[in-house]
Amino acid sequence: MILTIALLLDAAFGEPRILWDRLPHPAVLMGRLVGWCDRRFNRGQSLRLRGVLVTLALLVTGLGIGWLIHALPDHGVVEVITLAILLAQKSLVEHVRAVATALRRSVAEGRAAVAMIVGRDTGSMTGPDVARAAIESAAENLSDGVVAPVFWYLVLGLPGIVAYKLINTADSMIGHMTPRYREFGWASARLDDVLNLIPARLTALLIALTHGWVDPGPILRDAPKHRSPNAGWPESAMAPVLNVALSGPRSYNGVRKDYPWVWPEGRRDPGPDDIDAAAGALWRVWAALLAFAVLIALF
């Protein structure tokens, strides 16, 4: 029942600014902790070992915080609120739909909106590039922000979701193949990959099933082509259900990368309507998770 209520609360309220303009969001606090670890330990010798130890410390910290909250007397209300805060369904949909709204006004506004949710270069994007980036972000973050947290909550309870979110935050901040983080961030990136192995594939399955599309062939063909061991799975499911080719060439830090296409058979001129369709897909998967949570509560 706790998961059911948390899913409904997140869908209804998302991240209300009236609250988070006054208090630091837990994700912000997690980011501050990871940033402190970066400044304190990412220096000197044995950077990979230091990164491994920091990642283990973050994992234990997340498990411990979750356990402490769960151990509170009459913890139910606190656990529901914590779980709802750590889910990202409504905020993800809002960010994705904002790109569609901006792109309808102009390509320049679409670029500015999509720059809020992707890490690639946006300055020279065309309209289809903007739409493609928004759809890819929707698919990837559906796994990271909704399905994976629900999965780890079902497996390990509140300690599982808090630990997952902390490691996922570390990966987003220090898990990069750059000179500064190649060694120190190696452990957080690899652990995040492991924690997302099942959720990413589950997300692909949920996208396919909630659209009545169950042919695994294109997913199995295209997902391994992705540079990430996990992000390719939800993308490879989202692309066929929208009939839009995803991935493909893009630029990072001024360097063009010719990545292979996901669902190359699909249209290569997506627009705002396709972004809205991707947002609709997010709600379909959310509804499937809600139905599963209700069944767990009943049986």
In the chain (299 residues long), the average pLDDT of successive 10-residue segments reads 95 89 91 97 96 98 96 90 96 97 98 94 93 97 98 97 98 93 97 98 97 89 92 96 94 87 95 98 98 92
Q: How many CB atoms lie within 10 A of CB 39?
A: 9
Strand locations in the chain (E): 246-252, 255-262
Q: Give the Cα separation of 25 and 31 in Å (integer).
A: 10
132, 144, 138: which is closest to 93 by C-alpha?
138
Q: Give the pLDDT confidence score for residue 74 in this predicted structure.
A: 82
C-beta separation of 96 from 278 below 8 A: yes
Question: Residue 232's pLDDT is what?
Answer: 95
Residue 8: the pLDDT is 97
Q: How far apart are CA 175 and CA 180, in angstroms?
A: 10
Query: What is the model's pLDDT at position 227?
Result: 87
Query: Distance between CA 248 and CA 61 in Å, rounded?
Result: 38
**Could you give the number of structural domains in the chain?**
1
What does the pLDDT read at residue 80?
95
Write down the pTM of the prediction. 0.95
Instruction: Check residue 157 and give its pLDDT.
Output: 96
Domain span including residue 48: 2-298
